[in-house]
Structure 1
């Protein structure tokens, strides 16, 4: 496996532009892979490494790490905490939230930083499928963030904030048509539907709203847009909502799963939902035909799984792993002085782990260009 890290000190080919906070990253990678190939293909997985102030770029064909983007070297600090990634469907641009730097960054296909915007404690990101909008929630690390989400114009990078009236808004997803944004609370059992155009919000208090909070981590939505699921960290459940009427989601089911379910991914045929269980070092597969747990995947590299993403053709599931406690023994600590993170690749047909890709510490949110084949 080949990897390149832009380290502190001398950085061959690294150029930092202090003006307007922009920077160009050395377009590195395998020696036989010219920058023009990167621009033409764009089949890459982007991994936020929260405790390394870095973003790892992985070739989806070879599973090689072709670049590690050093955000500290770009002036964002060692504690920038990159958290989540969103990628344009055609791979032309990608975005990363920096929790502690209070920034959302925009990079182009060649991994040049082209814009940034300030946003307090940004967390999850969600692209609108038609309008040039990027929605941003608040980080789980924020104790008392504003009860608002952001709508960023992806062209101008100007931000507008929408009130959602719930404490610690975290789970965040756009509907299939982009008309609605679903937001979930970490602090109470509430779901909010926000009209993407106007910002008008409708609040749903879940049954048992006075009980221990579910702590809604993240959503996934069915291909037909009629069913929404949410992973609930504290109650170890997958919550199922009927959202055929977007302004009035109806909780129609709850499935007990492994401890601390994290970011879910829904297959394009609507049959399967995948997510990691951060508390049990495993991946759960749910069959939506009868809402049962169809399989649990365990094995090398699964160590506090966080983000997940399906390849455009659905044949591979990529799972990012924090590995904070060193459950997985990295072959190389990469000079960070902490256990490295991983990306585990699962064959969705056989449900077996087929590759483990090592990254800098704490691999969290991941993203890829969903429109490329």
Structure 2
């Protein structure tokens, strides 16, 4: 009898631990909801919203720190950044970031923040720990995209109204180059090796691939979708797969993600998602990509291998950006 009780107890403990470990292994998807002033937290296994966080007015750009401890979200109408504990989901502090922050990024050490201030035509460089402004770098009109090189030495900011990608040295804070791209550039992303920068142009309907050393445009990717008018194809966000062989481009009003072969810049496929996808995020294991769809108030779960949309998950109103805590 004692032996049976011990076995039963052991089984109960094993089941409890397995459940706890399973819960701990689930990734948390953080989605900024521009109209609701909230961040939705979605469990990657159940695909349900497990928390809604009130953050401030007009949250848009959202990232996770390199140590995975904090989520940082731009509050456009507050001129602030909200810092969220990635495990407790509590807003721990707010940092003054300058007028109308839209997108932001952080250096690989997790110490320095780079914020696009749309109203002021500035890139604000901040100390993450203290919240102090280190430098303000004037660039073109309506800054938005903000990419940091893998080594942290270069930042690329895009200016929508000037139609440029600006390369900034992070040691001297000098603008090294101003590269003209197609109309209304919205986002920039370095390749994993830091050799190239991809820049989306929403009105131009294209993606420019720029050499990060020579600042030369190597290729311009265009899109064509049967039955979709060209003016509805409006590229915004970019996410590379873990192996770097493919890029997923959010095509906005076209309601699709374009899948691009990074070796030859050919479009492999178009994945139908919700209405007006803004940005995407890749799961920690690289098997799934999530799309934030502004006009259908949901995120679409897409299988990377098959390029099939698997599920739509309702979140808040006007979901804009995503980031994932492993």
TM score, norm. by length of structure 2: 0.86
- The corresponding residue for 1:51 is 35
Unpaired runs of at least 5, structure 1: 1-31, 140-144, 208-212, 329-340
For 1:166 and 1:70, the matched residues in 2 are separated by 32
How far residue 180 of structure 1 moved from its aligned partner, in angstroms, is 0.8
Query: Which residue of the other structure, out of 271, 275, 278, is the alignment partner of 2:252?
Result: 278
The Cα of 1:70 is off from its aligned counterpart by 2.3
Distance between the aligned counterparts of 1:70 and 1:368, measured in 2?
18
Are the counterparts in 2 of residues 164 and 192 from structure 1 also a CA contact under 8 Å?
no
1:69 CA drift (Å): 0.9
Q: Summarize the alignment of residues 227-246 of structure 1 with structure 2, pairs less than 5 Å apart.
A: 227-243=196-212, 245=213
Task: Check if 1:320 corresponds to 2:304.
Answer: no
Question: 1:28 — aligned with what?
Answer: none
Which one is further off, 92-101 or 124-133?
124-133
Alpha carbons of structure 1 residues 152 and 39: separation in structure 2 relative to 1, 3 Å:
farther
Q: Aligned-pair RMSD on alpha carbons?
A: 2.1
- CA distance in 1 between counterparts of 2:161 and 2:77 reads 20
Contact in 2 for aligned 1:44/1:59 (Cα 8 Å): yes
1:91 aligns with 2:60: no
Aligned to 2:309: 353
Mapped partners of 2:303, 2:21: distance in 1: 26
Mapped partners of 1:100, 1:198: distance in 2: 30
Question: Which deviates more from structure 2 when the two are superposed, residues 153-162 or residues 119-128?
Answer: 153-162
The list of structure 1 runs, each at least 4 consecutive aligned residues, that deviate by more than 3 angstroms after superposition, is 36-42
Partner of 1:27: none
How far is the alpha carbon of 1:43 from its aligned partner?
2.3
Cα distance 1:42–1:175, how it changes in 2: closer, same or farther (>3 A)?
A: farther
Tell me the equivalent position of 2:275.
303
Residue equivalent to 2:172:
198
Higher strand fraction (1 or 2): 2
User: Is residue 120 of structure 2 the alignment partner of residue 146 of structure 1?
Assistant: yes
Q: C-alpha distance in 1, partners of 2:240/2:133? A: 29
Q: For 2:206 and 2:75, locate their aligned partners in 1 and report how far apart those are by CA, in whole Å.
A: 28
The answer for the alignment partner of 1:111 in structure 2 is 89
Q: Which residue of 2 aligns with 1:250?
A: 216
Change (3 A) 1:233 1:115: same
Match of 1:368 in 2: 324
User: 2:151 maps to what in 1?
Assistant: 177
Where 1:279 maps in the other structure, the secondary structure is helix
Larger helix percent: 2
Matching of residue 215 in structure 1 with residue 184 in structure 2: yes
Instruction: Give TM-score, length-normalised by structure 1.
Output: 0.75
**1:133 corresponds to which residue?**
112
String of CA shifts for 1:15-70, please: whole Å, max 9, x gaps.
Answer: xxxxxxxxxxxxxxxxx9xxx98996572111000001111011122222110112
Once the two structures are superposed, residues 189-234 of structure 1 have per-residue CA deviations (whole angstroms, 9 ceiling, x without a partner) of 3221112233121232427xxxxx5111101221111111111011
